């Protein structure tokens, strides 16, 4: 698949740089597509188009019911292309088809519709002071949306859809690892009849992201990615007093209480620790296990991890595809070496674990036992198929270890006692937490505390991010 045009301000235009992004399959190492790379000038043109469209006001003055109807039409058009988008995602990022088709691409349709549902209930104009004043929730202006490669569609739509519903104009910069699915979205947007200038979609590298963030015509940066990049974006936005929302890294704790059903725990952690080969911000990668059942829990997890099938992501029997790039695979492997050097015990996997494949950036999963919460493998986001089991003595110790982290994105509690679960849930400093499962919903706030970010996506809170409340006194 080759794209030689850029989608700038609602038009397909020739790039000014002559450079291309080459997209390589992480499972076959073959080139699967090329995409015209934007220049800094192209990024500037996209922001200029967004600013001009916002000032012209066609979209922001469109009644909200019509904006919602336009986004619902986009969801319908998207639904028809789910199989194609799912296959593209599997080719680009190596995630298994079961996930790209049904969870990610299929879920994106549900995402758009859920945000539209929330927009229907949203208090765009809210009477106050007995009717003598109104809060007008007005669009925040020109938004730059920057998603990562690991869940490229939903982290893009989580910004684009509420921003459009609010009446903003948006420039989206998908990651260079996953430009192809971003450009299918551009085609869908192109067919949706939005006014000229309102949306640009420019897959590009970090330098394009930096130029967009620093552009003085931008009002709001909505970012998902690493904490390191989030800090540098926040610094620029702080200097310029731009609005900024940040969905960053995680190192979430799965707190297994001593009455937990281990079949539920292992099935749940198979899904939440190894999804996308562990390349998920919400992955539950620190298992806190009571010392009284420590060996039993390690054995149960070892059986589960040992049974994970690594291989062709298009094969329905595969549990784990490759990692996204050779650089990232090597980085994760270095963390496994670090764990061994720190004194953790590799019960499954380890540094020399075979991948079972000749080509592609595969890595067998590793289960570490005897992990101390102070170790680097327990504190740093590895973003790969590596699970650490950390022993604890009392429920209070488990909560303290869960909170002893720079991050605070997600978490889980595993127990057969709802009252104990509730007591633990209320003590963990995190943005999201589930009991005996973790299933985020598109109408609930998504995001983290501490180094996991600032702000929330989805639900009413996700719309709040893209509006400015105007206090209107009627006189
Ligand atoms: P990354 O930070 O390297 O890149 C993310 C995006 O930002 C890419 O599009 C990249 O080109 C761009 N970028 C990087 N530096 C930039 C800068 N200084 N200015 C502007 N743009 C910049 O992250 P990644 O490797 O693509 O994604 C993995 C990270 O994303 C992990 O840390 C993961 O936890 C996080 N993540 C968080 C969530 C969440 O909702 N909290 C969801 C998915 C992924």
Partners of 284 in the β-ladder: 252
* Enclosing domain of residue 158: 2-248+452-473
263 and 229 together in one domain: no
Cα of 156 vs centre of ligand 1, distance in Å, is 12
Which residues are part of the catalytic machinery? 247, 281
Q: How far apart are CA 145 and CA 247, in angstroms?
A: 11
* Bridge pairing between strands 449-450 and 407-408: antiparallel
Q: How far apart are CA 148 and CA 175, in angstroms?
A: 6
- The mean pLDDT value for 208-218 works out to 98
pTM of the model: 0.97
Q: In ligand 1, which atom is closest to the CA atom of 213? A: 20
241 and 258 together in one domain: no
Is 345 inside a domain boundary?
Answer: yes
Q: How far apart are CA 165 and CA 115, in angstroms?
A: 9
- Which letter does DSSP use for residue 130 in this model? G
User: Taking the CA atoms of the chain, what radius of gyration do you get in angstroms?
Assistant: 23
pLDDT of 1 reads 81
Is 446 inside a domain boundary?
Answer: no
pLDDT of 355 reads 67
Q: In ligand 1, which atom is closest to the CA atom of 230? A: 2
310 and 435 together in one domain: yes
Q: What is the pLDDT of residues 179-192, one digit of tens each?
A: 999 999 999 999 99
Burial of 323 (0-12, 13-18, 19+ CB in 10 A): buried
Cα of 232 vs centre of ligand 1, distance in Å, is 11
Q: What is the pLDDT of residues 364-378, one digit of tens each?
A: 999 999 999 999 999
pLDDT of 151 reads 97
pLDDT of 357 reads 74
Cα of 452 vs centre of ligand 1, distance in Å, is 12
CA-nearest residue, atom 42 of ligand 1 = 281
pLDDT of 350 reads 87
What's 346's domain CATH number?
3.40.309.10
Is 447 inside a domain boundary?
Answer: no
Cα of 99 vs centre of ligand 1, distance in Å, is 20
- The mean pLDDT value for 253-268 works out to 98
Q: In ligand 1, which atom is closest to the CA atom of 457? A: 40
275 and 299 together in one domain: yes
- Name all residues whose Cβ lies below 6 A of ligand 1: 146, 148-151, 155, 173, 175, 205-206, 209-210, 213, 224-226, 229, 232-233, 247-250, 281, 381, 383, 409, 448, 453
256 and 244 together in one domain: no
256 and 152 together in one domain: no
344 and 265 together in one domain: yes
pLDDT of 351 reads 81
Is 355 inside a domain boundary?
Answer: yes
- Buried-state track 302-317, b at ≥16 Cβ within 10 A, e below 16: bebbeebebbbbeeee
Q: What is the pLDDT of residues 391-447, one digit of tens each?
A: 999 999 999 999 999 999 999 999 999 999 999 999 999 999 999 999 999 999 999
pLDDT of 354 reads 66
Q: What is the pLDDT of residues 320-357, one digit of tens each?
A: 999 999 999 999 999 999 999 999 999 999 887 666 67
């Amino acid at each position: 698949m080759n794209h030689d045009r850029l989608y700038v301000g609602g038009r397909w235009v020739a790039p000014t740089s002559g450079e291309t992004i080459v997209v390589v399959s992480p499972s076959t190492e073959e080139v699967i597509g090329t995409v015209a790379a934007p220049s800094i000038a192209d990024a500037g043109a996209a922001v200029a188009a967004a600013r001009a469209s916002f000032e012209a006001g066609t979209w922001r003055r469109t009644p909200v019911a019509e904006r919602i109807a336009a986004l619902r039409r986009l969801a319908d058009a998207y639904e028809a292309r789910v199989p194609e988008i799912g296959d593209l995602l599997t080719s680009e990022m190596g995630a298994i088809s079961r996930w790209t088709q049904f969870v990610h691409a299929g879920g994106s349709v549900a995402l758009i519709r859920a945000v539209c549902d929330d927009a229907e209930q949203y208090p765009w104009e809210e009477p106050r002071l007995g009717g003598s004043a109104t809060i007008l929730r007005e669009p925040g202006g020109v938004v730059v949306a920057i998603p990562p490669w690991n869940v490229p569609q939903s982290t893009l739509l989580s910004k684009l859809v509420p921003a459009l519903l609010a009446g903003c104009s948006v420039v989206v910069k998908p990651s260079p690892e996953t430009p192809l699915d971003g450009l299918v979205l551009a085609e869908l947007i192109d067919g949706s009849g939005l006014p000229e200038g309102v949306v640009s979609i420019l897959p590009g590298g970090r330098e394009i992201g930096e130029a967009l963030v620093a552009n003085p015509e931008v009002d709001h940066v909505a970012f998902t990615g690493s904490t390191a990049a989030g800090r540098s974006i926040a610094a620029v936005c702080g200097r310029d007093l731009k609005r900024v929302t940040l969905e960053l890294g995680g190192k979430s704790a799965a707190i297994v209480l001593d009455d937990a059903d281990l079949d539920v725990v292992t099935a749940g952690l198979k899904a939440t620790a190894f999804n996308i080969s562990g390349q998920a911000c919400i992955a539950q990668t620190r298992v806190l296990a009571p010392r009284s059942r420590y060996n039993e829990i390690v054995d149960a997890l070892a059986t589960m991890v040992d049974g994970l099938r690594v291989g062709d992501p298009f094969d329905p029997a595969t549990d784990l595809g490759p990692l996204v790039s050779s650089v990232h695979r090597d980085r994760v492997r270095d963390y496994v070496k670090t764990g061994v050097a720190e004194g953790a015990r590799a019960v499954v996997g380890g540094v020399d674990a075979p991948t079972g494949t000749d080509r592609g950036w595969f890595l067998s999963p590793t289960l570490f036992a005897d992990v101390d919460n102070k170790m680097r493998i327990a504190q740093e986001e590895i973003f790969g198929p590596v699970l650490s089991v950390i022993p604890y003595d009392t429920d209070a110790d488990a909560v303290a270890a869960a909170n002893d982290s720079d991050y605070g994105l997600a978490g889980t509690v595993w127990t057969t006692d709802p009252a104990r679960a509730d007591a633990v849930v209320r003590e963990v400093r995190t943005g999201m937490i589930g009991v005996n499962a973790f299933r985020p919903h598109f109408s609930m706030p998504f995001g983290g505390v501490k180094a996991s970010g600032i702000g929330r996506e989805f639900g009413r809170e996700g719309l709040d991010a893209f509006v400015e409340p105007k206090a209107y006194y009627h006189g």
